[in-house]
Amino acid sequence: MQPTTYHDIIVIGASAGGPAALSRLLSELPAELPASLFLVNHLAPETAAQVLLERIGKNSQLPCLLARHEEPFERGHAYLAPPDHHLLIRDGRVLVTKGPKENRSRPAIDPLFRSAAAAYGSRVIGVVLTGLLDDGTAGLSAVRRSGGIAVVQDPREAAYADMPQSALRHAGADHCVPIAEMGSLLVNLAALPAPTTTVPADVVREAQIAERLLSGIEGMVELGTTRLPYSCPDCGGALWEIKHDPVDRFRCQVGHAHTAASFLSYQTARLEETMWVALRLLEERRHMLLRLAERESGQGLGQMAEGRTREAEETAIHIERIRETLAAGPGQPSPGPGNRATA
């Protein structure tokens, strides 16, 4: 007879508003928690990890540690992903890798959740907290498909409701509770026996991508994907659609992954950046045309000066259109005729 296993692997993901949410949650957990915790909060590469660690662990009874590669993990401890590295787990060890970004983030939530699901199946509890966009949704789905338990913060109390709402809508949840109730819930869940389940092959394959054990076009074909007419925002390579996910999600052959929401967010940011550059160039062009028109008029070249002035006036129209679009926000209708709000 095999020994009974329990839900002793708890993976937690947060983004915007995450430090406060993680701090509150850790303060609710007892020192004798019979599980290991693994935390991802989206971080900029230059983030001072130790400052964040001290903040989230300030009121915790559990030791809070910055994850170190190949370090064995223990129950009753919390491990935080360091900046610019993914946090993964396997064979009782913490893995800290520079694997391909997901949703333009490293650390990202989905690789941790998927890694835990691939290695520990039904023993995993996945927790999605506050944040923007939808990182964590695909990972939480992998946890549930592998027999684990999904817990989501009540979006009504989240500082940023996007991530919890996306997780609920697309991956589903076994429990949706405010953080004040989440600590006792996790304690109770950790004490429940974990059933024997089979981890889907695609979850294992994608976990291997994060560890850089699988890549290339062959890896994409194994995931049952279709090539798309888009380029990867991170490397410019071709993208393939992941078919089995609850959200539209894409991967390139080197492993970068994007949900449709994160891809659209990237496009919007690049579009705005491009429009500001275009605005600067058009402003410079208009001023140069007027400068030349003034000089040519003084030299008696009236016809040429008039042509320059017309060009400057046409350029001014383009400038105004771009300004209106930027004011409305790229991707939104500009407040031109027919689009202006009426009183």
User: What is the average pLDDT value for the chain, to the nearest integer?
Assistant: 91
Average pLDDT over residues 91-116: 95
At 120 the pLDDT is 98
Which one is predicted more confidently, 19 or 264? 19
Report if residue 211 sits inside a domain.
no
The catalytic residue among 7, 23, 42, 162 is: 42
Per-residue pLDDT tens over the stretch 213-224: 655 555 566 675
In the listed set 190, 221, 243, which residue is the last one of a domain according to the structure? 190
Per-residue pLDDT tens over the stretch 113-133: 999 999 999 999 999 999 999
Q: 186 with 266, same domain?
A: no
Give the H or E element holding residue 126.
Answer: strand 124-128
Is 15 catalytic? The answer is: yes
Per-residue pLDDT tens over the stretch 205-215: 899 888 876 55
The catalytic residue among 135, 202, 234, 245 is: 135
Which residues lie below 8 Å from residue 270, measured CB to CB, with a gap of 6+?
A: 233
Average pLDDT over residues 58-79: 97
Q: Tell me: pLDDT of 225 over 70.
A: no
Nearest CA to 158 among 327, 24, 319, 293?
24
Report if residue 1 sits inside a domain.
no
Is 184 catalytic? The answer is: no
Nearest CA to 187 among 24, 3, 56, 7?
7
Average pLDDT over residues 227-251: 87
Q: How many folded domains does the chain comprise?
A: 2
Lowest-pLDDT range, 169-173, 243-247, 250-254, 258-262? 243-247
At 332 the pLDDT is 60
Quickly count: other Cβ atoms within 10 Å of residue 184's Cβ: 13
Q: Tell me: pLDDT of 335 over 60.
A: no
Report if residue 182 sits inside a domain.
yes
Which one is predicted more confidently, 238 or 147? 147
In the listed set 190, 211, 245, which residue is the last one of a domain according to the structure? 190
Contact assessment for residue 121 and residue 8, using Cβ atoms and an 8 Å cutoff: no
Q: 78 with 175, same domain?
A: yes
At 341 the pLDDT is 33
Is 135 catalytic? The answer is: yes
Per-residue pLDDT tens over the stretch 253-264: 888 999 999 998
Report if residue 179 sits inside a domain.
yes
Q: Tell me: pLDDT of 342 over 60.
A: no
At 210 the pLDDT is 86
Structure tokens given for 275 = 């429009």
Average pLDDT over residues 71-91: 97
At 164 the pLDDT is 98
Q: Tell me: pLDDT of 108 over 70.
A: yes
pLDDT more than 70, % of the chain: 92
Per-residue pLDDT tens over the stretch 271-282: 899 999 999 999
At 269 the pLDDT is 85
> Residue 113's domain spans which residues?
9-190
Lowest-pLDDT range, 33-42, 187-196, 321-330? 321-330
Report if residue 244 sits inside a domain.
no
Quickly count: other Cβ atoms within 10 Å of residue 272's Cβ: 15
The catalytic residue among 15, 23, 141, 334 is: 15
Report if residue 199 sits inside a domain.
no
